[in-house]
């Protein structure tokens, strides 16, 4: 046993590998800020030990977890309840214990929208079509969020078109229009929002090759990449005078749900947190 006082509230982030995770920085910052007796641990969990490890951590008094790669889908089989939005996304990243049951939700959805609203506010024309670039796990969360937020159309483009087709088929939504990768520049015409969910533009990767000249002047450009904070896409958008939203805020806002569930306090995303996370991320 750890020898910690009984009242210590415990949560963790589980993944494989886990060393890169910024979640400990975020949650430990809030634990200190709100003077909560708690701990938040990064725990490496191999794919074949997921269920056993969850059971042992809950037995050891953990109130819940953030779940990251590669467990976001497989964790769903271990839960008693899954929030309907997480079901639609097909991924859970936040788990908590409630009345002896394991509950799961997808806070990437919440984080993406909260950061967009905080950064762009009314400047984002949410009834306009949106262009989503990429078709990985992050894209799924973004597409579900935008549909729920009331966009008139989601134009979904990906280098491998079959993955975009899969998302469209899974969601069964007439508002999702799959666009060929070669058609991405034309698809910018008339959109209120462009979101990059690919890893292009991340330090060490090539930039996203896209031409923003057709973008309406009131279009918002959102990049979920946060290292560097000013990606080539956001730099090009700024040069065109477009409003930009960086990826770091989504990471911070998605942490709010879990912290509230595990530690009983809804935390604020503020400049101090952003400074701490930027320092830890080196961006």
Site mask for ligand ATR (CB under 6 A), range 153-172, x = bound? -----xxx--x---------
CB of 161 to ligand ATR, least distance (A): 8
CB of 162 to ligand ATR, least distance (A): 8
Q: For the chain, what percentages of helix, strand and coil (3-state, to nearest 5) are there?
A: 40, 20, 40
Q: What is the dihedral of CA 85, 161, 250, 127, to 10 degrees?
A: -70
CB of 181 to ligand ATR, least distance (A): 7
Two tokens at 160? Answer: 């491998």
Nearer to ligand ATR, 63 or 158 (CB): 158
Which residues, listed in sequence order, are joined to residue 96 by a DSSP beta bridge? Answer: 64, 103
Euclidean distance between CA atoms 85 and 244, whole angstroms? 26
| Size (the chain), residues | 283
Binding-residue total with ligand ATR (CB under 6 A) = 14
Instruction: Tell which positions 60-89 bind ligand ATR, by CB under 6 A.
Output: none
E strands, 37-78, in order: 38-44, 62-67
Catalytic residue flag (residue 6):
no
CB of 73 to ligand ATR, least distance (A): 10
E strands, 224-270, in order: 243-245
- Please pick, among 10, 53, 72, 261, the residue that the annotation labels catalytic: 72
Three-state DSSP at 266 gives: coil
Instruction: Tell which positions 172-211 bind ligand ATR, by CB under 6 A.
Output: 197-200
CB of 35 to ligand ATR, least distance (A): 34
Site mask for ligand ATR (CB under 6 A), range 31-60, x = bound? ------------------------------
Euclidean distance between CA atoms 219 and 227, whole angstroms? 23
Nearer to ligand ATR, 20 or 279 (CB): 20
Q: Which residue's Cβ has the minimum distance to ligand ATR?
A: 136
* Contact (CB, 8 A) for 196 and 208: yes
Instruction: Tell which positions 118-147 bind ligand ATR, by CB under 6 A.
Output: 134-139
Nearer to ligand ATR, 38 or 134 (CB): 134
Euclidean distance between CA atoms 181 and 172, whole angstroms? 21
* Contact (CB, 8 A) for 268 and 246: no
Provide the annotated active-site residues. 72
Which residues contact ligand ATR by CB under 6 A? 134-139, 158-160, 163, 197-200
């Amino acid at each position: 046993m750890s020898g910690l006082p009984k009242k210590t509230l415990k949560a963790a982030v589980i993944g494989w590998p886990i060393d890169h995770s910024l979640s400990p920085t975020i949650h430990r910052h809030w634990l200190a800020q709100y003077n909560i007796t708690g701990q938040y641990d990064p725990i490496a969990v191999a794919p074949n030990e997921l269920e056993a490890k969850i059971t042992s951590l809950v037995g050891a008094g953990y109130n819940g977890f953030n779940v990251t790669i590669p467990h976001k889908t497989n964790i769903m089989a271990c839960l008693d309840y899954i929030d309907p939005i997480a079901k639609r996304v097909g991924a859970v990243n936040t788990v908590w214990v409630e009345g002896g049951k394991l509950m799961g939700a997808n806070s990437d959805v919440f984080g993406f929208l909260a950061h967009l609203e905080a950064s762009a506010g009314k400047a984002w024309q949410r009834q306009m079509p949106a262009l989503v670039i990429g078709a990985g796990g992050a894209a799924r969360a973004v597409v579900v969020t935008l549909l729920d937020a009331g966009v008139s159309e989601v134009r979904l483009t990906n280098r491998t078109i079959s993955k975009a087709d899969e998302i469209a088929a899974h969601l069964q939504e007439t508002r999702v229009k799959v666009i060929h990768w070669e058609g991405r520049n034309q698809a910018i015409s008339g959109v209120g929002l462009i979101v990059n969910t690919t890893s292009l533009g991340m330090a060490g990767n090539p930039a996203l090759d896209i031409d923003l000249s057709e973008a309406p002047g009131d279009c918002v450009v959102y990049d979920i990449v946060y290292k560097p904070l000013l990606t080539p896409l956001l730099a090009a958008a700024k040069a065109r005078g477009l409003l930009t939203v960086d990826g770091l805020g989504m990471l911070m806002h998605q942490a709010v749900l879990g912290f509230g569930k595990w530690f009983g306090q809804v935390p604020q995303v503020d400049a101090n947190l952003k400074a701490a996370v930027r320092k830890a991320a080196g961006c």
